[in-house]
Amino acid sequence: AYLKNENYMEDDHANDQIDQEYFLEVKPGQREVVEEKLSHLKKLKGFLSVGVFSAGGEIIAGIYNHLEKFEQTGDLMFDMVEKTQKILKILEFGPCNMIDITAEKDQHLLVQSYHRGNLHYIVAVICSADGETKTFKNHLGQIVSILVEYLKVR
DSSP-derived secondary structure for 118-150: TEEEEEEEEEETTS-HHHHHHHHHHHHHHHGGG
Helices (H) and strands (E) in the chain, counts: 3, 7
- Which of 9-18, 37-46, 104-113, 121-130 bottoms out in mean pLDDT, i.e. has the lowest? 9-18
- Residue 2: per-residue pLDDT: 26
Q: Is the pTM of this model over 0.85?
A: no
pLDDT band for position 137 (50/70/90)? very high
Once rounded to an integer, what is the mean pLDDT over residues 7-18?
Answer: 37
At residue 143, does pLDDT exceed 50?
yes
At residue 4, does pLDDT exceed 60?
no
* pLDDT per position as a tens digit, 48-63: 999 999 888 888 888 8
At residue 9, does pLDDT exceed 90?
no
